[in-house]
Structure 1
Amino acid sequence: MNHSLIITIILLFFSYLGISQVEEVHPPNYIKTINFKGNTPETQLPILKLGDYLTLEFDALNGNEDDYYYKIEYYNADWTPSILFKSEFMNGLDNQRIRTYENSFNTYQIYSHYQLTIPNEQTKGLKVSGNYMIFIYNSYNELMFSRKFMIYEDLAIVGVDIKRSRSIEFIEEKQRVDINISSNNIQFNNPKQTVKAIIVQNNNLNTAIYNLQPLFTIGNQLIYKYDSETSFWAGNEYLFFENKDVRAANTGIQFIDLKELYHNYLFTNFSRKNRPYTYNPDINGNYLITVVDAENPSIEADYVWMHFSLIPPKNLEPDSEIYIYGNFNNYVLDDSNKMIFDKEKNLYTNMMLLKQGFYNYKYVVLNKNNVLDEGAISGNFYQTENNYKVIVYYRDLGARYDKIIGIGEGSSINISN
Structure 2
Amino acid sequence: MRHLFFIIMLLLSSLKTISQTIEEVSEPYNIRSIIFKGPTEDQFPLLKLGNPIYLEFDDLLANEQDYYYKIIHCNYDWSKSSLLKSQYLKGVDNQRITNYENSYSTLQPYSNYQLTIPNENVKLKVSGNYILEIYNNDYELQFSRRFVVYTDLVTVGATVKRSRDFNFLNEKQVVQFNINTTNYAVVNPKKEIKVTILQNYHWPTAINNIAPQFTLGSELVYKYDKETSFFGGNEFYNFDTKDLRAPTAAIAKIELNDLYNHYLFSNVHRSKRPYSYYPDVNGDFVVRTLQGRNSSREAEYTKVHFSLPYTEELALDDVYIYGKHNNYSINEDNIMTYNEKNGMMEGTLALKQGFYNYKYIIKRKDGTIDLNTICGNFHNTENNYTILVYYRVFGELYDSVIGVGSANSRSISN
TM-score band, normalised by shorter chain: over 0.9
Determine the C-alpha separation between the residues in 2 that align with 1:320 and 1:210: 29
What code does the residue aligned with 1:63 have? A
What code does the residue aligned with 1:33 have? S
Query: Are 1:334 and 2:331 counterparts?
Result: yes
Residue of structure 1 in register with 2:40 after alignment: 40
What code does the residue aligned with 2:23 have? E
What code does the residue aligned with 1:337 have? N
8 A Cα contact 2:18 2:79, kept in partner: no
8 A Cα contact 1:74 1:82, kept in partner: yes
8 A Cα contact 2:18 2:80, kept in partner: no
Aligned length: 405
Determine the C-alpha separation between the residues in 2 that align with 1:88 and 1:377: 47
8 A Cα contact 2:239 2:356, kept in partner: yes
8 A Cα contact 2:68 2:134, kept in partner: yes
Residue of structure 2 in register with 1:266 after alignment: 264
8 A Cα contact 1:390 1:407, kept in partner: yes
Q: Within 5 Å, give how 1:10-409 maps onto structure 2.
A: 14-17=14-17, 19-41=19-41, 43-123=42-122, 125-316=123-314, 318-409=315-406
- Between 157-166 and 363-372, the greater mean CA deviation after superposition: 363-372
Tell me the alpha carbon deviations over residues 47-84 of structure 1, each in whole angstroms, 9 at most, x when there is no partner.
11100011110000012110000111100000011100
Determine the C-alpha separation between the residues in 1 that align with 2:298 and 2:321: 26
Structure 1 runs of 4+ with >2 Å offset: 10-19, 313-316
- Give the TM-score, by structure 2 length: 0.95
What code does the residue aligned with 2:107 have? Y
Residue of structure 2 in register with 1:415 after alignment: 412
8 A Cα contact 1:11 1:83, kept in partner: no
Offset, 1:154 = 0.6
Offset, 1:212 = 1.6
Offset, 1:257 = 0.3
Q: CA RMSD in A?
A: 1.5
Determine the C-alpha separation between the residues in 2 that align with 1:239 and 1:413: 18
Residue of structure 2 in register with 1:4 after alignment: none
Offset, 1:397 = 1.5
What code does the residue aligned with 2:412 have? I
Relative to structure 1, is the Cα distance of residues 260 and 395 closer, same or farther in structure 2, using a 3 angstrom cutoff?
A: same
Offset, 1:314 = 4.0
Tell me the alpha carbon deviations over residues 111-144 of structure 1, each in whole angstroms, 9 at most, x when there is no partner.
0000011111111x10000000011111111111
- Between 222-231 and 165-174, the greater mean CA deviation after superposition: 222-231
8 A Cα contact 2:199 2:384, kept in partner: yes
8 A Cα contact 2:102 2:111, kept in partner: yes
The SS at the match of 2:209 is strand
Percent identity over the alignment? Answer: 49
The SS at the match of 1:212 is coil
The SS at the match of 1:193 is helix
Relative to structure 1, is the Cα distance of residues 28 and 16 closer, same or farther in structure 2, using a 3 angstrom cutoff?
A: closer
Determine the C-alpha separation between the residues in 1 that align with 2:50 and 2:333: 37
8 A Cα contact 1:33 1:58, kept in partner: yes
Offset, 1:225 = 1.4
What code does the residue aligned with 1:409 have? S
What code does the residue aligned with 1:25 have? V
- Give the TM-score, by structure 1 length: 0.94
What code does the residue aligned with 2:55 have? L
The SS at the match of 2:325 is helix
Determine the C-alpha separation between the residues in 2 that align with 1:158 and 1:15: 34
Determine the C-alpha separation between the residues in 2 that align with 1:16 and 1:299: 44
Relative to structure 1, is the Cα distance of residues 31 and 358 closer, same or farther in structure 2, using a 3 angstrom cutoff?
A: same
Tell me the alpha carbon deviations over residues 332-383 of structure 1, each in whole angstroms, 9 at most, x when there is no partner.
1111111111111210000000000000101111222222222100000101
Relative to structure 1, is the Cα distance of residues 167 and 13 closer, same or farther in structure 2, using a 3 angstrom cutoff?
A: same
The SS at the match of 1:70 is strand
Determine the C-alpha separation between the residues in 1 that align with 2:82 and 2:12: 11
Determine the C-alpha separation between the residues in 1 that align with 2:243 and 2:169: 42
8 A Cα contact 2:163 2:169, kept in partner: yes
The SS at the match of 1:315 is helix
Determine the C-alpha separation between the residues in 1 that align with 2:195 and 2:338: 41
Relative to structure 1, is the Cα distance of residues 293 and 335 closer, same or farther in structure 2, using a 3 angstrom cutoff?
A: closer
Offset, 1:313 = 3.1
- Between 361-370 and 66-75, the greater mean CA deviation after superposition: 361-370
The SS at the match of 2:246 is coil
Tell me the alpha carbon deviations over residues 292-321 of structure 1, each in whole angstroms, 9 at most, x when there is no partner.
1422111111100000000113433x3322
Relative to structure 1, is the Cα distance of residues 64 and 356 closer, same or farther in structure 2, using a 3 angstrom cutoff?
A: same
Offset, 1:16 = 4.8
Offset, 1:152 = 0.5
The SS at the match of 1:172 is coil
What code does the residue aligned with 1:118 have? I
